[in-house]
Structure 1
Amino acid sequence: MAKVCELCGKGPIVVNSVTRRGKARAAGGVGRKTTGISKTRQLPNLQRVVINKGGVGVRLRVCTKCMKNAYAA
């Protein structure tokens, strides 16, 4: 599958992108107003990595968190 980490299974998530206008109440304004909400996708940071399995190089798409945990150990 595309855009999915092959080690942990982390994939894209759907989040709301909130657009606001106005000045914050703490900064002396009347408060922030929401003017629009649209859905966006956040994709995992995938990198191609070659991992040796039994003397054979296997190319995987791995998220950077898995890379960090694998190389730290």
Structure 2
Amino acid sequence: MSRKCQLTGRKTSVGRSIVRHGKPKRLGGVGLNIRGVNKRKFKPNTQKMRVMVDGQVKKITVSAKAVKSGLVVKPPKRKYNKAAQG
């Protein structure tokens, strides 16, 4: 399964990591020079959770940002009957 939030649509995005060398001008140097540029990926923090969707409990992949912002409705906790154990 892909690393994609099924509520917000957040997915892996791409970018670059830049390696710089030298002393900044603000510190009295001649400036920073770029030595290397590498591709990298920014991956969202996705978790598999049990969520209430249309009144039913489903296990879906959601991002941590969706959980923090309150988009996720968790199912009610299961209540155990203590009398049935004995």
- Normalising by structure 2, we get a TM-score of 0.72
Are residue 8 (structure 1) and residue 8 (structure 2) matched? yes
Residue 51 of structure 1 is matched in structure 2 by 51
**Please, what is the CA RMSD of the aligned residues?**
1.5
Q: How far apart, in 2, do the equivalents of 1:26 and 1:62 lie?
A: 43
Tell me which of the two structures has the higher relative contact order, counting C-alpha pairs closer than 8 angstroms and 6 or more residues apart: 1
Cα shift at 1:7: 0.7
Q: How far apart, in 2, do the equivalents of 1:25 and 1:6 lie?
A: 46
Fraction of identical pairs, as percent: 31
Structure 2 spans left out of the alignment, 5+ residues: 72-86
Structure 1 spans left out of the alignment, 5+ residues: none
Q: How far apart, in 2, do the equivalents of 1:11 and 1:60 lie?
A: 14
Equivalent residue of 1:70, what SS? coil
Matches within 5 A, 1:7-46: 7-46=7-46
Identify the structure with the greater strand proportion. Answer: 1
Equivalent residue of 1:40, what SS? strand
4+ residue segments displaced more than 3 Å: none
Cα shift at 1:50: 1.2
